[in-house]
Structures are given as C-alpha cells and as structure tokens.
Amino acid sequence: MKKVQTVKLTTGEEFLATIANDDGANITFDKPMVLIDTGNGFQLIPWIMTLESEVVTIALTNVLVMGEAQESISQGYLNATGEQVIQTPPTQGIITP
C-alpha cells in the first residue's frame, strides 16, 4: 500500500499526497488533495482544482515539514483517489482439488 504523506509548505499550505519521485532537490507528489471542513464533516478535494495533471513537482526548499498521515486520514485519501485495494476475505470451508 502506498504511504500517504501530509505535507506543509513554507507558504503554510497543507495537503495530502503520495510520493511519485524524490530526487533530493525536488519531490513529485501524486494526486495532492486538501482536507476541508464542509460543516457536516470533512471532505477531500484536489489541492489545485484546475490542474490537468495528477502530479505536482515541488522544490524541497519549499517543503517545511512532511510525514506519514494518520491511518484514518490515509484510508480516506486512498478511497477518494481510488487507490484503496479492498481485499476479499477468504471463504471458509474445505478446499478440494
């Protein structure tokens, strides 16, 4: 499973994403999304609404802090981006050839 990162930029902006590439100078994030309060709960929306690409490259010098997102937030992100793999539990019974 991909690790969802919470990223805070030096501008104060915060978003969730997975890392597509990190070359030491720049980080490419896949499907960056922000968590907003709708008044009835929280919702994930694209970080940049009009961006055609699903990846964003940011200079590492613009990243203030980055770390693995909380499990519940990660699950919500993976569900929202369609990256969640739902595993079907095995059926019980005797397996015969």
Lookup: tokens for 76 = 């919500």
* Those residues with Cβ within 8 angstroms of residue 56's Cβ, 6 or more apart along the chain or in another chain: 17, 28, 29, 32, 47, 48
Supply the pLDDT for residue 26: 98
Residue-by-residue pLDDT tens, the chain, 97 positions: 679 999 999 999 999 999 999 999 999 999 999 999 889 988 999 999 998 999 999 999 999 999 999 999 999 999 999 876 555 555 565 655 5
Lookup: tokens for 10 = 């030096």
CATH 3.40.50.300 is held by the domain 5-81? no
Contact 27, 18 (CB under 8 A): no
